[in-house]
Amino acid sequence: MQAYKFLLAFLFYLPILHAQDSTVSSPIGYETVEQAFKALQEDPAAGMQEYEGWAMFSQKADGVYILWSFTPAFHPANPSVVRRKIVKKDGRVNISMDALCQSEKEYCDQLIEDFRQINERIIRDQSAGS
């Protein structure tokens, strides 16, 4: 009888748990890398350039620069996008970073580490130049 009550309770809560999972949003505001890319392509305020196969978009709003970096097809972490928000305040550069990586975990981890090091270099170079 106890197992039966547990099963009923589980079946009752299953739709609720599923609904909660479906409302989880991406850290970059888009559910897929492809959605983010298409949205930025259609945004007239987003400038695009390519560098060594990377598609990069830049936006500026209220003193915040947003840089989007999309992995090229040959990159192990593809498809992935890294969004960095860069703010310069009181002579200091601050970079916050979010990413959506739809590749294998080891490649995603390496992508994040690579960008973390780039961010540190940018901050260090800006601090030295101030």
Q: Tell me, yes or no, whether 105 lies in a domain.
A: yes
104 occurs within a structural domain = yes
**Any domain includes 99:** yes
User: In sequence order, what are the residues at sequence separation of 6 or more whose Cβ sits closer than 8 angstroms to the Cβ of residue 32?
Assistant: 26, 79, 100, 102
Q: How many domains does the chain contain in total?
A: 1
Q: Which domain covers residue 71, as residue numbers?
A: 27-129
Give a yes or no: residue 125 inside a domain: yes
Average of per-residue pLDDT values in the chain: 83
Task: With respect to residue 6, please indicate whether it lies within any of the assigned structural domains.
Answer: no
Is residue 98 included in any domain, yes or no?
A: yes
- pLDDT for 38 equals 97
**pLDDT confidence tier of residue 62, bands split at 50, 70 and 90:** confident
Cβ–Cβ under 8 Å, residues 46 and 58: yes
